[in-house]
Each structure stands twice: as structure tokens, then as C-alpha cells.
Structure 1
């Protein structure tokens, strides 16, 4: 009997099933994605804090970029380390450790006496941000049923943008309530609260059935499946996990040297490309420097902080749209929509900044300010409504089960290094080539990213994680007589 027919007859929660997710899966996802909330808050809060910490910490354009990007440098190595540890100690334990690091980093940055200590604690905080970005999507993807995996994994993106929106609102709120140059310390300290909640919540969560199975702990894998799947679904999914793992070189310890296999090497580079194009659009220059950019085109501090809240609100609303779209269209199509749309918006911002006058009769051109803000909002609509949600989902899906932690860590390392370089150089570019020149550079990079999307991004919708692995092996292996195409459905028989 084919697996598809088996799933239909038993109403199993396979890729094409309409079965509802068990309530415990929702609880797990809610707790785990507090890591995404922290990710969003800690990366977004700096946008407002920079307006107030400059005097006390004596920031220059270069040290401003260094304070902002130091978190991203730490995030790159946090992603890499968590990826290597994921197979050894499990996804759950990593998240517990990351919660502690989140709290230490948040308190350290809020108490930093000078720019050197600020950078040190931002790097520490970045380790937690990067670790969460690599671990939480994998944890949710492996614990969610196949037919709901897209929606649950993109909850991480929803929590990230929600955290950024809370950061923007917190920044504006602290400024309105107290003002002054010390409010930035309270802005940074608030992040300790969700860190404590994340640590406490994860104490009661299980690890994933795929990790338990990889360690030979099949009884525990079955127990988790029984709590997260309908009764009739447990046996077939456990069997599928076992079959896939048994095919992978007798469960040898995962090593990067397996990249010597051509198909794995190609897959790893595709994963890194998917991770990098999302950052190379320049999205986080908008999330980190929006108030700075809006001040440069004529807004005052309060107006710039308030306008930045609109960025957060649009990001959250469009992430809901992205979650809805993931249930309607393919991953590959959604990636193309996001990449093409973001690139067009970068051209729009650059053109507005270049053509419209900076001032009229000696006063800043307010229309120019709001046109730049409009460009930002349109950009975030494509970024958060399409590109960002599908990026994290693809990264959690495309790597083989046994190597998923290591490969995810490497891909997210590339993501954060790209983010680091952009955040470091943006203040320097803004000072040297101006807003128009900076966004035209990002637009040029976006065109290259669009070519990559069209030629390299696979379609993974309506497949289980194990089916995706077999499909990509066939597609990327040069020794296959008949290679799969990007749009062909995979049909496996039991």
C-alpha cells in the first residue's frame, strides 16, 4: 500500500492532512518562541537606544556601527556553536542555556559603564540571539505535525517581529515618560523578563522525537509523538523517522567532513544562500537604524521614534499575512515574491532620496521624510509578509535529520555574519555615499539575490521532513539517472 493511501485511510497528520494539531504542540511552540521574542526585542531595542546613549558612551559613526553589529557578530558564533551542540545535547537543553545567556546579556548591556563593556555584553547577548535563531525553528519543525509545520515554524518569525514592535513601543514609551539620556538603560533591561519566562517554561518541555530517535531512545520518541500526534499517527511517523535515520550510514556521529558528498555540499551552499539573501536586502538596517535614517531626512527624535512604531506594526501584521500565504502557495513562489518586492522597494527608497530635495526654503522637506517612511513600510510588507517567514521555514526543512543541527548552525552563521557586516558598515556608508547611494547598493545586491532564488531555491511544500530529504538527495545527486525537478511531487511507497 502506498504511504499516501495509508495516510488517507488513517487520517494521519501527513503533509496533505486536514487533522488539527494537538493542544500540547501549541503550548510547546508558544514557550519555545519566547526565544524569538527575545531575538526581536534585543535586535530592535538598539534602534531607539542609540539616540540616547551616544553622549554618555561618546559614540562616533564607527563605534555606533560597532555597538549595533557586535550583537550580530556574537550571534554568528552562537548559531554555529548551538548547531554543533544540537545533535549532542538536544534542542531543549540548548534553549535552556540560551535563556540564561539572554538574561546575562540584557543586564550587562543595561549596566555598561562605557562603550567597551557595552560591546562585550552585546556580543554575549548575540550568542543567545544566534543560538535561538538556529535552534528554535529546528525544535519546532521537528516537534510539529507535517501538515502544520509551516504555520508553527513561522510563529518564530511572528514572535521576532512582535519583539521588535515591543522594543519600538518601549523606546517611545520610555522617552515620552521620562526622556533624558539615561532611559536607554531601562530600554535594554526590560529583556530580562521574557528570558526568565523562557527558562522556566522550557524546564517542562520535551525534546523532539527525531532527536530521541537519533540517540536510540525510541521509547521517549514514541512518548513525545503520543503527546503531539493523534493516536493513529504515531506508528507511521515513528517508522518513517527510523527508516530515514537507518539509511544514513548506520547513525555515525554527524561531521562537517560529510560535505565531501557532492549533494550535501550543494545543499549546504543552497542553505547558506537562502540565509544570506534575506539579510543582504538590508532589512536590518531598517530595523536597527530607522530612527537614525528618519532623523537624517528631517524628523526630530520623538517623531522618528513614533514613526518607527509603524515599522513594527506593519511587520507584525504582514507576518500574519505570511503565515496565511504559507498555507496557500509554495515556498519557492513565496521566496520569489519577497525577493523581487524587496528589491523594487530598495530602488524606490534610493530614488526618492536622490530626486527629492533635502530642504525647501531652508526647512527640511517633510514630504521626503514620509516618502522614505512609506518605502520602508512597503519594503517590510514584502520582507515580513513573504521573505522572512519562508526563509526560516526553508532552513528548518531542507537539511537531513542527522545533520540538521550542524547545517542549520552553518547557514545561520552565514546569515548573522552578513547581518554583522551590513550593520557595521551602514553608518559609514550613510556618512560617505548618503541614503540614496546606500540603498542603490542594496538594490544591486538584491538583483543578484533574485537570480539565486530563481535558479537554486527548491520547493518543499506538501512533503514530510523525510520526503524532503529523499527529494533533495535525488535532485542534487549527480549520479541519479532521473533527477527530480523543482515542481515534481515526491511519491514514496511503504
Structure 2
């Protein structure tokens, strides 16, 4: 291995001081963030669009409760495979190349869903779309984390979460507009689905002119290339200091051959860290957030809204998600990750409890409908303002450099499989035990989640990725 002299120096102090970068450098960093997070926008749109499209699709394709669950959850199964595959690919081939490939998958999957003539084709196309969603859920946060300065990492990585919920809001809004214009005409759902091809094109062309992650380049011993990228997004002095720290760790990990399944099984601290990552992923999903995202319209219809009113009212869920994410980004610069995650868990659990109580205790009608809507909005405020931003941020931070994509990919597999199971069984649970008892199950899961976060989740705020890796190695060894 050819290692340059500057790469073998011992790591210097953690580079957490505010960067005095010139305006052009700050603009470049903002542009990189905007382009990369189009992957998050596609993630949000493609997971949220099914919410409004499903009722129309049910009529056209003759869906049953079982095939309805398959159409919804096939994307999630694809996302599980896409997460681990995307993570491995981004570690092997680079974050930028992987995002370019994902843009193509997003386009092909969205077009396949739009043109699907049968349920079977729709399930396959949604699976392909899921591969892209899963890959983006891993690769985009890792790319942003590795490009960002330590003091801005929380804000910049969670811009991806902002784009995810903005994509969901775009889906809810465009669904309502298209349904209003198209009315009950056959195939109106196809117009809802085809919109997703446009941001896929923007992502592909945008990433053609974006740089590779400097930390990935360093992990491949391409230290001069890493420095050139760092100088695009840091001041000259900051870039050189940060490269010294990054390259020293890259050499250490190369000597240990850290980077895959065997290392995870053979290295106790990495193995323990993987289980923490699994737990964070499960905690984010067993709140039941995606029952609101995928079945929100149906939940509101069951609560007492008409179909058209539910479709329009569901936009409120999208709006509050975007506003809450703005608040979450602001909070991440001011409070620690771990207490923020716990606060979100307490808030979502309380909201789910009240949804169940209102659905059970209030008579059918407008009163119950608006009470349930108020609680879904409250739920999403805590979920999107605290839990989701912290989840994706921490998963992009906690794994060692040489296996960051792989580690986050495996954790995301757990996340997406949990999502898949919930999305698949939710309609059957509601049909079998009722909406109230279904949400009471999520309440019980929420209590377990709060306990897990309190006992096992580490704090990650205020460290460079290299300093954090050293701390976690010591903690879990």
C-alpha cells in the first residue's frame, strides 16, 4: 500500500472549531447538500405517494386487503435489500457513483409503477423502486456526514430528512390536486406515480458534477484527491488539518482490515455497535410512523372523514412533518442527540395512546375525526421533529470509516424489514382487532423503545467522526 508521508502522522486534535471558510466554499457545501438530498426527496415521494394513490389503484387493479398490503410493502422489502447492497456498493465503489446508480433505479422504478398493467407488475416495480429508496436511505446520509464539518454535520445531514418529509408533502399535495382534476377517471393514480421521474432526472444530472466523499477517498488511500475535495468545502488550513486526522485513522483501519461481515463478527466493539445500530433502527420504526405515512388517508376515513376530505386533511400531516423537521434541524445544533430521541419517543407514545382512546371512546362523526387528526399531527411533530432526524443522523455517525456504508446498510436492513412487517400486517391488524387495539400495540412498543434508548444509545454530538470512532471503540471494547 502506497501511503503518503502526510497520511501517517498521528491524528491531531478533533477539528471541531468553527471553520472560517470563504463564502464560495460555503456555497459549494450548500450546493452539494441540495443536489444529494434529491435522493431524500425521491425517498419521501415514493413512500408517500401510495397513501393517496392506493384507493384509486384498488379499484383499477382489483386489490384485496392482502394484495393491498403486498403493493405497499413490496417497496419496503426492496428497500431492505437496497440498503445493504447500497451500503456495500458505496464502500466499494464510492458514495457518488452509488447515488448516480440509484437515480437510474428511481427513474426506472417510477416508470414501471406508472405503466403497471397488473398487480404482479406493480409489486415488482415497487420492489425495484424500493431498491433505490433503501440505497438512498443509506448512501445520502453517509455522503453528507463525510462531507460536512463536525459542527455542521447535524444540520446538514438532517437536511436529507427535511427533503424526505418535503417529498412526502409533495406526494400528498400532488395526489390531492391530481385527484381533484382527474376526479374518478380511470388511471388517475398513474399520474400521481409518474411525477417521481422528474426529481430522479435532476439527481442524476446534479451528481455528475458533485465530488466524491473525501473520507471514502481517504479509505482508498487516495489522500491527495481527498485533500482536493476537502478544499472545496473547507478553508485551506482546516482541510489540511482534517486530512491529517482522517488519513491516520484510514491507515489504522487498513492495517486492521476493518470493513465487512467477518470484521463485525470477529471484532467485539464493532459487533456491540452493530446491535446498538439495530436498536436505533427498530426504535424509529416501531412507533408506527409509516402506518400514518402509508395509510393516513384510510385512518382519517375510518375516523369519520369522507374520502375527499381525508385526502385533503392528510396534507396537514405532510405540512406538520416539514415544519417539525425544520424545528428538529434547529434543535440538533443546540441539544444533545440522545435526550432529543427520548423526548420524541415519549411524545409519539402519548399521541398513539390518545389516538387509540379517541377511536374507542368518541362516537363516530366530526368530533372523533378531528380529534384523531389532531393526534396524528401531534404524533408526526414528535416523530419528524426528533426521532427521524436523530435516527438517520446517528446511523450515519456511529460506524467505523471503512465500514460506514456497510454498517449503516445492515442497520437500515433491520429498519426496512421492521417497516415491511408493519406495513404488511397493519391492514390485517386493523381489520382483525380494530384501530384502537392496533395503536395500543404501538404504545407498548414505544415504552420498550424509551427503555432501550435510556440504557444503550450513546451521545454523538460535538465530535468529529474520527474522535467519535475512538470514543466508541473505547466504550464498547
Q: TM-score, normalised by structure 2?
A: 0.95
1:354 to 354, 360, 363: 360
2:232 to 227, 232, 236: 227
Partner residue, 2:253:
248
Query: Does 2:93 correspond to 1:89?
Result: yes
Query: Does 2:131 correspond to 1:127?
Result: yes
Partner residue, 2:5:
none
Partner residue, 2:309:
303
Partner residue, 1:342:
348
**Separation (CA, whole Å) in 2 of partners of 1:110 and 1:255:** 37
Q: 1:287-316 deviations in whole A, cap 9, x for unaligned? A: 110111111122111100100000000000
Deviation for aligned residue 1:253: 6.3
SS in 2 for 1:443: helix
Residues 22, 230 of structure 1: 8 Å contact kept: no
Deviation for aligned residue 1:249: 4.7
- CA change 1:470–1:105 in 2 (3 A) is same
Q: 1:218-263 deviations in whole A, cap 9, x for unaligned? A: 1110100111101110111000001111222516362211122111
Q: Which runs of 5+ in 1 are unaligned?
A: 8-13, 359-364, 478-494
**Separation (CA, whole Å) in 2 of partners of 1:24 and 1:207:** 13
SS in 1 for 2:353: helix
Partner residue, 2:46:
42
Counterparts of residues 461-480 of structure 1 (less than 5 Å):
461-477=461-477
Query: Does 2:386 correspond to 1:386?
Result: yes
Residues 358, 368 of structure 2: 8 Å contact kept: yes
Q: 1:410-448 deviations in whole A, cap 9, x for unaligned? A: 001111000000000010011011110110001111111
Partner residue, 1:79:
83
Partner residue, 2:431:
431
Q: 1:366-402 deviations in whole A, cap 9, x for unaligned? A: 1101111111000000001111111111001011101
Q: Which runs of 5+ in 2 are unaligned?
A: 1-9
**Separation (CA, whole Å) in 2 of partners of 1:460 and 1:433:** 40
SS in 2 for 1:328: coil
Deviation for aligned residue 1:17: 2.3
How many correspondences in the alignment? Answer: 463
1:200 to 191, 198, 205: 205
Counterparts of residues 72-471 of structure 1 (less than 5 Å):
72-180=76-184, 181-250=186-255, 252=257, 254-259=259-264, 260-358=266-364, 365-471=365-471
Partner residue, 1:362:
none
**Separation (CA, whole Å) in 2 of partners of 1:249 and 1:31:** 31
- CA change 1:3–1:19 in 2 (3 A) is farther
Q: 1:441-465 deviations in whole A, cap 9, x for unaligned? A: 0111111111100001110111000
Q: TM-score, normalised by structure 1?
A: 0.92
| RMSD after superposition | 1.4
Partner residue, 1:482:
none
**Separation (CA, whole Å) in 2 of partners of 1:179 and 1:273:** 44
Q: 1:128-183 deviations in whole A, cap 9, x for unaligned? A: 00000010000000011111111000000000000000000001000111112321
